Amino acid sequence: MHPAVQLLMLLGLAVAGLCLASLLALVLANQLYGLSLAQFGEVGAAPERVPHGWAVLMLLQGLSLAGLGAGAAVLPLVLGQSVRGYFAPRRLGAAWWPLAAGLVILVSVPFLSALVAWNASVHFPTPLHGFELWARDKEDQTAGLTKFLTDFHSPGRLLVGLVVIAIVPAVAEELVFRGGVQRNLVAWFGSRHVGVWLAAAIFSAIHVQFFGFVPRLVLGLVLGYLYEWSGNILVSMAAHFTQNAFQLVLLYLFQNKMLPVVFDPDANQTVPWPAVLLSAALTAGLLYWLRQRWAAPKALARG
């Protein structure tokens, strides 16, 4: 089947999974917390005004992403292939593969942090000033929602956050973007690089955060090449989980006054250039080393 058709099928299955998951979240919110349909509709815009807003928003977030991932996981079955063969055409060669992917993410933190700070201060050309104001407003709304969602004043909340914001997205988004979108774009264009770059751009754009587009694009490239070189979706999942979990743990420690102000993850503070350059060099070196270790025949048996 042509990759374009598979991408359309992936889109349909992911949307179907999202709709079913949202419906399930509505039913559970009503049964567990007594929320009405109107109250449930307000959760995404003003969760602080909804009874049990944090729990309901976490429920909706977790189930929605799980629905997307489930839709992607169904695609190989529809195509008559095995899930493992489709998403992981190459078995893990050793237990250190996912650990090494996580290490790449940790080493890249100063470099990515510098990109975040730079991208957050970018200004659009004068003709796009109206769009910039709209984008800034959307960014502020998202930031407010994220701040509410990541209010970790107890270990229990952190645990829920790790499941909903770290584990579930790592699995679901990798199945969709790397295992589904990237895989088919690589096959469609016959080029690993074109497929990885296009998938990373889609991955960044789909989050609709224009003042975080570049760092998320770079993250998507790292995840994409880790998947492409290793041939196993568990590797990019491990890296994605590390990225999200590290940020959440750092936030929890800061909120509970276990870290000094200089480590505030929400401050977009300027990172010293020596640290940025060292981070970039170490990240590139690790990626090159992994590329050499994972070198495999040009035609991996996919699916």
Whole-number pLDDT of residue 296: 56
Whole-number pLDDT of residue 43: 86
CA 60/CA 121 separation, integer angstroms: 31
Whole-number pLDDT of residue 268: 66
Whole-number pLDDT of residue 112: 94
CA 295/CA 171 separation, integer angstroms: 25
| Residue ranges of the chain with per-residue pLDDT less than 70 | 261-269, 296-303
DSSP string across 114-145: HHHHHHHT----GGGHHHHHHHHHHHHHHHHH
pTM of the model: 0.91
In contact, 109 and 246? CB cutoff 8 Å: yes
Whole-number pLDDT of residue 303: 36
- Which of 127, 167, 166, 178 is closest to 251 using CA atoms? 166
Whole-number pLDDT of residue 55: 93
The per-residue pLDDT for range 165-221, each reduced to its tens digit, is: 999 999 999 999 999 999 999 999 999 999 999 999 999 999 878 888 999 999 999
Whole-number pLDDT of residue 191: 95
* CA-to-CA dists, residue 174 to 61, 66, 99, 118, 167, angstroms: 16, 11, 17, 26, 11
Q: Where are the alpha helices (DSSP H) in 121-212?
A: 129-149, 155-161, 168-173, 183-189, 192-205
